[in-house]
Amino acid sequence: MIARIDHIGIAVQNINDALAFFQDALGMKLERVESEEGGRTQVAFLPVGASDVELVEPQDADSGLAKFLAKRGEGVHHICFEVDDIDAALARLTEKGAQLIDETPRVNAKGMRYAFIHPKSAHGVLIELYQRPKTEDQ
C-alpha cells in the first residue's frame, strides 16, 4: 500500500525566511518553488534522498493552510506517503472506518492524484496520500 515517504510538508509564514534556515543553516538545496492548489499556496521543494521537504506558504488568507498557521503556528503540517493505487488505499481506509478529508482523489496540475486523511483518524497527524501518474511502461 505505502511505497515511500514522498514528502514532509512544513507550514511557514514566509518561504524566503524559512529558506534562510533550511538552505543556509542545514545546507539543503532548493530545487524549485511552485504555485499549488490553484494558487492558494507557494511550495518550495528541497530534495532529501528520494523524498522532499516542502515549505508551504499560504497565498490565500481563507485557505486551510492559513487557518492552520493562525491556530498552530509554523511547523510540520503533513506527511505524504506515495501509494501505487490511491483508489484502493482510500477504499481500504473507508472500510477500516478512517475519517477522510477527500473521499475521492484531487488531481494537481501535473496529473498527480492526492487525498488527505483527517488527523482525527491518524493520531493527530494530517496524512496525504499521493499517486504519481502512470507512465506508458506501467
* 28 within a domain of the structure (yes/no): yes
Q: Does residue 136 fall inside a structural domain?
A: no
pLDDT band for position 1 (cuts 50, 70, 90)? confident
Predicted pLDDT of residue 101: 96
Q: How far is CA 109 from the centre of its chain?
A: 14
pTM of the model: 0.91
Is 78 part of any domain?
Answer: yes
The answer to whether residue 35 is domain-embedded is: yes
Q: How many domains does the chain have?
A: 1
Structural domain containing residue 74? 2-131
Instruction: Tell me the pLDDT tens digit for each residue of 26-52.
Output: 999 999 999 987 778 999 999 999 999
User: Is 56 a member of any domain?
Assistant: yes
More confident residue, 70 or 136: 70
> d(Cα 74, Cα 49) in Å, to the nearest integer?
24
Q: What is the pLDDT of residues 78-98, one digit of tens each?
A: 999 999 999 999 999 999 999
- Please enumerate in sequence order all residues whose Cβ is within 8 A of that of 118, keeping only pairs 6 or more positions apart, or say none: 98, 99, 100, 101, 126
CATH, residue 64: 3.10.180.10
Answer yes or no: is 137 within a domain: no
